[in-house]
């Protein structure tokens, strides 16, 4: 965020983010406590959108819940390598007491960020149960599903892969985890505030 002060008063620009109440309460005080912020510029990506989507906390809980549903799965692939999604990986690592493999050569940016923010959750062991992968690297069979996921701007989908079940159908619901016909679990995490959060 950027705070500008001058003859025009005080102006806060939130930048590209998802504001939560705890973020607002964590803002430092203005240099002069008697001053107030006259203008706030918010990230309004979803200002015109009435869709409901889960909070970041709820999304993380959904990811963990999806993994718990498959305790015997030898590998879990998390499509979770964007800046601002480190909390998901940290909580998965904490919840399962396991480190997460990020291929330093294939995903250097994510590896670099995690090595500075949470080095204790990283492992170089490719046999680790948990792996971070970039969005377009999922199975070719899921191309249609991924195209639909990509069409939802600024929403990130986390995926868990297992053997497909023919009875599972695709549902366009953002608030609950869903499993597609390929056995990939999808959990929505928006990196921007919902209209309700903005209000």
Q: What is the pLDDT of residues 46-83, one digit of tens each?
A: 888 877 788 888 999 999 999 998 888 888 989 888 87
For residues 10 and 98, state if they share a domain: no
Claim to verify: residue 110 and residue 188 sit in the same structural domain: yes
Domain enclosing residue 14, as ranges? 2-41
Would the pTM of this model clear 0.85, i.e. be above it? no
Contacts of 166 (CB under 8 A, 6+ apart): 181
Confidence tier at 34 by pLDDT (50, 70, 90) = low
| Terminal-residue alpha carbon distance, the chain | 19
Do residues 183 and 157 share a domain?
yes
Residue ranges of the alpha helices (H) in 46-104? 56-68, 86-96
**Number of structural domains the chain divides into:** 2
| Same structural domain, 81 and 122 | yes
Q: Is residue 101 part of a domain?
A: yes
Note whether residue 51 is domain-resident: no
CA distances to 68, 158, 191 from 18, rounded to whole Å, are 27, 18, 6
Q: Same domain, yes or no, for 90 and 155?
A: yes
In a domain? residue 128: yes
Percentage of the residues of the chain whose pLDDT score is greater than 90: 26
Q: 48 in a domain, yes or no?
A: no
The answer to whether residues 36 and 65 belong to one domain is no
């Amino acid at each position: 965020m950027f705070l500008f002060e001058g003859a025009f008063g005080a102006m806060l620009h939130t930048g590209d983010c998802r504001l939560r109440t705890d973020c607002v309460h964590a803002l430092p005080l203005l240099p002069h406590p008697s001053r107030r912020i006259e203008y706030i510029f918010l990230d309004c990506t979803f200002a015109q959108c009435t869709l409901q989507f889960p909070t970041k906390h709820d999304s993380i809980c959904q990811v963990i819940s999806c993994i718990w549903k498959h305790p015997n799965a030898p590998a879990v692939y998390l499509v979770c390598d964007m800046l601002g999604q480190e909390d998901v990986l940290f909580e998965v690592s904490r919840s399962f007491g396991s480190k997460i493999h990020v291929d330093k050569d294939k995903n250097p940016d994510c590896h670099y960020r995690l090595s500075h923010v949470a080095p204790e959750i990283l492992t170089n062991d490719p046999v680790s149960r948990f792996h971070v992968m970039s969005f377009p690297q999922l199975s070719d069979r899921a191309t249609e599903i991924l195209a639909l996921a990509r069409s939802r701007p600024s929403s990130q989908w986390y995926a868990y892969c297992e053997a497909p079940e023919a009875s599972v159908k695709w549902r366009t619901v953002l608030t609950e985890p869903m499993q597609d016909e390929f056995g990939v679990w999808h959990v929505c995490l928006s990196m921007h505030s919902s209209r309700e959060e903005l209000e």
